[in-house]
Amino acid sequence: MILLLTKHMGKVSAKSWAIFLAAIIASLFVPLTIFYPNSILLHPIGKLSISILVIIIGFGLKHPKTLLRLLLTFYFVTFALGGSLTAIHFFLSSPVQFGPTGIVTWSSGLGDPISWMFVVVGFPVVWMFTKNRLDKHTITQFDAEQIMHVTFHYNNVAITTTGYVDSGNQLIDPLTKKHIVVCDYSIAKQLFTYEQIKQMKKAMEGYHFEQLEGYFSNPIDIVPYHDISGQPQFMLAIKPEKFTIYLKKQKILVSNVSIGIQFNQLAEDGSYHCLLHPALFNQTTLKLA
């Protein structure tokens, strides 16, 4: 259940058998503490290593940033559930009596009561950790809602990837008035050969776009735009034969669109590879399939 909740909060996909296998690996930690109490795996470093192994088995080998986020979410869920169960246990099992001098409680022999010093010192730390994870979870949830699957066809090649609705993407081809969807280098490698990409980069460096003639069977558009600093720039763009966005349970066909090519990575963790233009979702632009 902890891994399933981690999956839900982390907004990641994982196979059921992988989650089940990771749960089995995690459950082996219990007999380890009983039969091998002096094992190195019971050291904090060993426990951290087991946690990382469980995350990798359950969710796959992700980008380090994504792996760290899943690991922190895993600990947050574990602490939240463990703390809740501990509180319920003490609430239900601690005997209480009304003595002549007040209320008397005692432990049932399962361990020493949690000291007030630990509560005073640990509570602010736990509170800050919980608040931080909830804040990050809210941001992650918002980002996940803006990410959707995209499919387009170009030069007899079908590309399926993920796109992020970027409100800052207001690029429009001034000649064709088409909205620009910016795709990163991972998409370019699927559309063009190494030699074609090399010529595109070379043309972009010196703005010698005439060098592109003869390397491509389909025309390459040159879209002028201004970067964040206001400096004029150019972007190479292509016209897809078909462009489809999968929004929840809807399949949206978009016609008024061009694909701009970037030669870097848009998302550090690889969660998306396209920046979708917000105007693609206007009623005048899209139609449902």
First to last CA, the chain: 38
Q: In angstroms, what CA-CA distances link 145 with 42, 141, 187, 273, 279?
A: 39, 6, 22, 15, 17
Fold designation for 147-288: Cathepsin D, subunit A; domain 1 (2.40.70)
- The domain ranges of the chain are 1-95, 147-288
Distance between CA atoms of 55 and 74, rounded to whole angstroms?
8
pTM for the whole structure: 0.58
The span from the CA of 266 to the CA of 182, in Å, is 9
Give the ranges where 147-245 is alpha helix by DSSP (H): 185-191, 194-206
pLDDT at 160: 93
pLDDT of residue 110: 46
What amino acid is encoded at 43 in this protein?
H
Ordered DSSP codes for 257-281: EEEEE-SS-S-TT-S-SEEE-GGGG
Query: pLDDT by residue for the chain (289 residues), tens digit each?
Result: 678 777 777 777 788 888 888 888 888 877 877 787 777 777 888 888 888 888 888 888 778 888 888 888 888 877 776 676 566 556 555 555 555 555 555 555 444 455 455 445 555 666 577 667 666 766 666 556 678 899 999 988 999 999 988 887 888 988 888 999 999 999 999 999 899 889 888 888 877 888 787 778 788 888 888 877 778 888 899 999 999 998 877 888 888 899 999 988 888 888 889 999 888 887 444 455 5
CA 80 – CA 78 distance, rounded (Å): 5
